[in-house]
């Protein structure tokens, strides 16, 4: 008498076929925008305790045509990065934009990486340390 229950062998094959079909429907398109500002940052060079930090946001689109949500603007991401990591100054920002496609939906993703100079403890608003004034050669002495 034949039984209607699937055999033990067909279940792993079915799961494997489903995983293969899902993985074939996904891909990532990477298109990087190198540096938001190609100029050297104004001010002193970064201190030794500066570190690289990253902030990212994603959106949602259907069929690659209908955008339901967009990632945050890079200025919003920079401000969030400055606030969350308590950066006095951000230097050398790099914007990366890529899209993750999964069958019918896509996730546009924006990522910003930048060098973060930490705030001074107790500095109001994350002030950058002031440089000591260099003595000027042959400067007239102040009048008494």
pLDDT tens string 85-141 = 999 988 888 888 888 888 889 888 899 999 999 987 765 554 444 433 344 444 444
Q: What local confidence, expressed as pLDDT, does residue 97 receive?
A: 86
Of the pLDDT bands very low, low, confident and very high (cuts 50, 70, 90), residue 81 is very high
In the beta sheet, which residues pair with residue 111? 56, 96
Q: Please state, in angstroms and rounded to a whole number, the distance separating the CA atoms of residues 119 and 74.
A: 21
Shortest CA distance to 27 belongs to which of 97, 95, 98?
Answer: 98
3-state secondary structure of 74: helix
Tokens linked to 4? 């209607």
Of the pLDDT bands very low, low, confident and very high (cuts 50, 70, 90), residue 79 is very high
Q: How far apart are the first and last CA of the chain?
A: 117
Task: Give the pTM.
Answer: 0.59
């Amino acid at each position: 008498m034949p039984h209607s229950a699937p055999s033990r062998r067909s279940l792993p094959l079915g799961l494997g076929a489903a995983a293969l079909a899902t993985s074939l429907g996904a891909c990532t398109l990477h298109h990087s925008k190198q540096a938001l500002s190609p100029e050297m940052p104004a001010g002193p060079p970064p201190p030794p305790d500066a570190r690289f930090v990253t902030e990212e946001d994603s959106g949602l689109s259907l069929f690659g045509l209908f955008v339901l949500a967009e990632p945050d603007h890079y200025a919003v991401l920079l401000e969030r990065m400055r606030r969350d990591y308590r950066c006095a100054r951000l230097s050398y920002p790099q914007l990366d934009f890529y899209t993750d496609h999964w069958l019918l939906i896509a996730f546009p993703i924006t990522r910003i990486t930048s060098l973060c100079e930490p705030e001074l403890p107790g500095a109001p608003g994350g002030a950058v340390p002031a440089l000591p004034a260099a003595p000027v050669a042959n400067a007239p002495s102040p009048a008494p």
